[in-house]
Structure 1
């Protein structure tokens, strides 16, 4: 019997990405990002407990352009995971499985997460928390 050179099971190279699959993968990636961000939060809290010099170093790191970029991404991951989790709660209740509704709520999750992220950062910058 001649062996055929093809995947034995469905593979990412075979299928075109769809919003639902991309959002599912993104939901998991945001969960990982939030775990990594939690380590960053623990570092910041530990530096506050360690004294003024350690806290100043942490503030310098997190206040840099790269630090703010990481914090912005962490904020988006938090809101994306929250909004998509709410969407999943509706799915658990048996609502929103129609393809049109699934796509509409997917776009809503992306938009609401982006809007909440921007609003939080505008509020933080306006109160001096992001400086």
Structure 2
């Protein structure tokens, strides 16, 4: 038999990821990210308890552009996981299984997480 070059199934160049699949993957990824972010929060709290020198180091790291980017990502992960978790609670009650409803609530959860993240950072910026 000749070795025939066949495309992968489903072919990666034509396959479109449904928003529900994307949110399912993001829900798992943000769960892991929240676990790692909790370690970062623990380090910050331990530095505060260890004294002014350690706290200054933690503040310098978290106050840098990279630290703020990580904090923004952590905040977005928190809000996305929260919004998608609320969506899952409705599924647990038997609501929202229709494809159109599931797609709509996925977009709502994604948009709400971005709005809440931007709102949280805007409030923190103007508060301090």
Q: Give the TM-score normalised by structure 1.
A: 0.86
Q: 1:63 to 1:113 in 2, by over 3 A?
A: same
Give ranges in structure 1 of 5+ residues lacking alignment: none
Give ranges in structure 2 of 5+ residues lacking alignment: none
- Listed as ranges, the matches of 1:32-111 within 5 Å are 32-111=32-111
CA–CA separation in structure 2 for the residues paired with 1:121 and 1:40: 18
Q: 1:61 to 1:15 in 2, by over 3 A?
A: same
Deviation at 1:20, TM superposition (A): 0.9
Deviation at 1:16, TM superposition (A): 3.6
> Number of residue pairs matched?
122
Q: 1:42 to 1:11 in 2, by over 3 A?
A: farther
CA–CA separation in structure 2 for the residues paired with 1:85 and 1:111: 14
After the TM superposition, list the runs of 4 or more consecutive aligned residues in structure 1 that deviate by more than 3 angstroms. 10-16
Q: Give the TM-score normalised by structure 2.
A: 0.88
Per-residue CA deviations over 1:90-126 (Å, capped at 9, x if unaligned) read 0011100111100110000011110110111001011
Deviation at 1:12, TM superposition (A): 9.5
Instruction: Please state if 1:121 is matched with 2:121.
Output: yes
Q: 1:104 to 1:60 in 2, by over 3 A?
A: same
Q: Secondary structure at the match of 1:81?
A: helix
Q: Secondary structure at the match of 1:96?
A: coil
Deviation at 1:36, TM superposition (A): 0.4
